[in-house]
Amino acid sequence: MLRYAVIFFVIALIAAVLGFGGIAGAASGIARILFFIFLILLVISLITGRKRL
User: What residues make up the domain containing 42?
Assistant: 2-52
Torsion sign, CA atoms 42, 43, 44, 47: positive
In the chain, the number of structural domains is 1
The answer for residues whose C-beta is within 8 angstroms of residue 3's C-beta and 6 or more apart is none
Give the per-residue pLDDT at 38: 92
pLDDT per residue as tens digits for the range 22-36? 888 898 898 899 999
What is the pTM (predicted TM-score) of this model?
0.73
Q: Report, as an integer, the average pLDDT of 28-53.
A: 86
